[in-house]
Chains A and B, each alone.
Chain A
Amino acid sequence: MKAAADQEVRRLLDRPSWPARRVAVWAAIVAVLLLAPLVVTNGYHLTLATNVIVTMILTFSLNFVIGRIGLFSLSHAAFLGVGGYVAAILAQRHGVEPWLTLPLAMAASMAIAGLIGVPVLRLRGFFLAVATLAFTLFADVFARQATDITGGAYGITNIPPLTLFGLPLRGPWMYEVAVLALLLSALVLENVRLSRLGRAILAARDNEAAAAAAGIDIPRTQLAGYVLSAAITGLAGWVYSFFHLTLNPFVLSLDITFLWLFIVLVGGLGSMRGAALASILLGVGPEMLGFAAAQQVLTAGVLVLLVVLLFPRGLGGLVEDIEARWRRRPATGDG
């Protein structure tokens, strides 16, 4: 009798991270995404979809930092910019093979994150938000003013595309690259969530004293998470550069920073599914309604106020509630 209860507990704690059902669901989603261009042939729609995919990579990463690590960092646009600009400059100006720029772009983002992370992550709340926001503003100004390096307000144009067996990857091909990048990001973040490091990160967010008492080196753990998220954001920047084949400081504008932040909140902090849903909603919705960029941010702002005031757990929370009712189990906020 007792042995059975022990077995239960062990099963609870030592569950396989990727049971067959989960792999099947993920594989199905990926397959649908990869095969979509066969059905959706309209170039405009594919461009839209690619933008949404890149946004999703970004918001997964941001959701990880704000929702899981618990750090209110607003410098994600700067990391995306670093990744994107490094890739663009190396490929366009120095003739580096585009594929090779990927590890370099990610390394650059990680390095910047490590550099500002060490001092900045000691801050909390408003101070962290302002410091990281100020960094993004600085990155924006830098991109606009250091014309020799970044091409100023016009940015880097004529970025050579990625090639595969001599074939330049544009349009639908870059969509596929984006989907693969999304898959990689999601896999990495999920795996980390289900690992000892992931639990340590959550523990540090929930209760610092107890986490330290359990042996967790909180600053180091949070910095590791932060740098990891910057790597993913750098990847998004790389995809962005080779998708649009032109990069300018637009991505560093505060409006975009706020848009991504709001998407994460509308999706529900800590929920990857929510971030995906919100990315689609706010990426596709305003476009469909013919809104310009500023109105997209406005829509996001209105939605975020509604979520914050009325549905704090966001879209992800709604999905969880529906799921829980379906299975009649309490929701533990696993997202």
Chain B
Amino acid sequence: MEFLPLVVLSGLQVGCVYAMMALSYFVIINATGIVNFAQGEWMMLAAVFGAAMLLAALPYPLVFLASILAATLISLLAERLVIRPLEARGADINILVVGLLGVLVVVRHTTGLIFGREEVRLPGPFAENPLILGETVFVLPQTLFVFAVTAATFIALWLFLHRTSFGRSFRIAAIDPLGAQICGVDLGRVRFAAFAIGGLIAALLGWLYGPLHAAGNLMGEAPGVKGFIALIIGSLVSPLGALVGGLLLGLFEVAAAFYIGSLYSEAIAFVMLMLFLFVRPQGIIPARWGSG
């Protein structure tokens, strides 16, 4: 019982990772209707580029910014080269999924070819000394960083969607693409912005998750899938859903791993997914709440 605060902290930390990933999926789904399976890879790219540049002894702030920028740019490249032509052709949804999986594989393994497939340490922006909060409770600065960045991202996105005019056209495009076009919203721009924002969030996540786990070309696999599962659990149409779904999944997973065993913690994600898909496919958060 004395470990409960630790379990909760750890669960929330993992949960924030899933929530951020879910949010990146959300932005793209709502603007374009596409589930971009490759989101996890942009996270990976930022982390791997970051680790590589740090090994080349480049200054930390520069590395931080450059790696995120590079990952976001590559995600936009994928949108331009793969998704846009397929959409323009009105391709069957299954073909689109395969195209995205193709992008995922190409990015993941080309990175493996170039940078090698070992996992490397990625230092976080802060010192590594844990802060002692109680007898058995301690927290890493990186954890606080994760919480802070997650909160900031969600707030920033909310402000964007509700307080800026472009953000408003974003929401309109999500709800009614045809109506939006009639109102003069440029759907192409909206789509581009969606992929940019989604890519950016995923890239940022590379610096949240990377220091916690390790940077390697395969690191995008688990968070990529679980991020989408978290969104389904929370609500496909609401950023609040991304947050709630992510945190819940993280908490359950860590709790299960701690109290039952790691075998079951993986099963948790699958079980929760099935549960929600069949019992409450619209997710936890009702569509009217949060903003969609």
Pairwise interchain contact A126-B97, C-beta atoms closer than 8 A: yes
For residue B90, give the distance in angstroms from its CB to the closest CB of chain A.
Answer: 12
8 A Cβ contacts from B73-117 to A: 82, 85-86, 91, 93-95, 97-99, 101-106, 109-110, 112-113, 117
B228 interface contact, C-beta 8 A: yes
Pairwise interchain contact A304-B102, C-beta atoms closer than 8 A: yes
Given A133-B225, A298-B113, the answer on whether A141 and B263 have CB atoms closer than 8 Å is yes
Q: Across the interface, which residues of A come within 8 angstroms of B225, CB to CB?
A: 130, 133-134, 137
B35 interface contact, C-beta 8 A: yes
For residue A175, give the distance in angstroms from its CB to the closest CB of chain B.
Answer: 29
B144 interface contact, C-beta 8 A: no
Separation of A295 and B110 alpha carbons in the complex (Å): 8
Pairwise interchain contact B102-A262, C-beta atoms closer than 8 A: yes
Residue in A66, A119, A137, A146 with the greatest tally of chain B CB atoms within 10 Å: A137
Separation of A145 and B93 alpha carbons in the complex (Å): 35
A105 interface contact, C-beta 8 A: no
A18 interface contact, C-beta 8 A: no
8 A Cβ contacts from B189-229 to A: 221-222, 225, 228-229
A184 interface contact, C-beta 8 A: no
B273 interface contact, C-beta 8 A: yes
Cβ contacts A132-166/B at 8 Å (1 or 0 each):
01110110011001100000000000000000000
Residue of B nearest to A71 (CB): B94
Q: Across the interface, which residues of A come within 8 angstroms of B262, CB to CB?
A: 145
Q: How many residues of A contact B (CB 8 A)?
A: 40
A129 interface contact, C-beta 8 A: yes
For residue A32, give the distance in angstroms from its CB to the closest CB of chain B.
Answer: 32
The stretch of B53-61, B146-154, B155-163, B264-272 that contacts the partner chain = B264-272
Cβ contacts A87-130/B at 8 Å (1 or 0 each):
00000000000000000000000000000000100110111011
Q: Across the interface, which residues of B come within 8 angstroms of A142, CB to CB?
A: 263, 266-267
Q: Which residue of A137, A145, A298 contacts B263 across the interface (Cβ within 8 Å)?
A: A145
Separation of A312 and B95 alpha carbons in the complex (Å): 9
Pairwise interchain contact A125-B112, C-beta atoms closer than 8 A: no
Q: Across the interface, which residues of B come within 8 angstroms of A126, CB to CB?
A: 35, 93, 97
Q: How many residues of B contact A (CB 8 A)?
A: 39
Residue of A nearest to B99 (CB): A308
Pairwise interchain contact A138-B270, C-beta atoms closer than 8 A: yes
Separation of A280 and B180 alpha carbons in the complex (Å): 48
B287 interface contact, C-beta 8 A: no
B232 interface contact, C-beta 8 A: yes
Q: Which residue of A127, A137, A304 contacts B98 across the interface (Cβ within 8 Å)?
A: A304
A198 interface contact, C-beta 8 A: no
Q: Across the interface, which residues of B come within 8 angstroms of A309, CB to CB?
A: 82, 85-86, 99
Q: Which residue of B35, B105, B270 contacts A301 across the interface (Cβ within 8 Å)?
A: B105
Residue of A nearest to B228 (CB): A130
Residue of A nearest to B268 (CB): A138
Q: Which residue of A70, A141, A301 contacts B267 across the interface (Cβ within 8 Å)?
A: A141
8 A Cβ contacts from B219-243 to A: 221-222, 225, 228-229, 232
Q: Across the interface, which residues of A come within 8 angstroms of B266, CB to CB?
A: 137-138, 141-142, 145
Pairwise interchain contact B97-A258, C-beta atoms closer than 8 A: no
B183 interface contact, C-beta 8 A: no
Q: Across the interface, which residues of B come within 8 angstroms of A125, CB to CB?
A: 93-94, 97
Q: Across the interface, which residues of B come within 8 angstroms of A70, CB to CB?
A: 94
List 15 A-B pairs, Cβ < 8 Å: A122-B278, A133-B225, A134-B225, A134-B273, A138-B267, A255-B105, A258-B101, A297-B105, A298-B105, A298-B106, A298-B112, A298-B113, A301-B102, A302-B106, A304-B102
Chain B interfacial positions (CB closer than 8 Å to A):
35, 82, 85-86, 91, 93-95, 97-99, 101-106, 109-110, 112-113, 117, 221-222, 225, 228-229, 232, 261-263, 266-267, 269-270, 273-274, 277-278
3 A-B pairs closest in CB distance? A301-B105, A145-B263, A298-B109
Given contacts A134-B225, A308-B98, 13 further A-B contacts (CB under 8 A): A119-B274, A122-B278, A126-B97, A130-B225, A134-B269, A138-B266, A141-B267, A258-B101, A294-B113, A295-B113, A308-B91, A308-B95, A309-B82
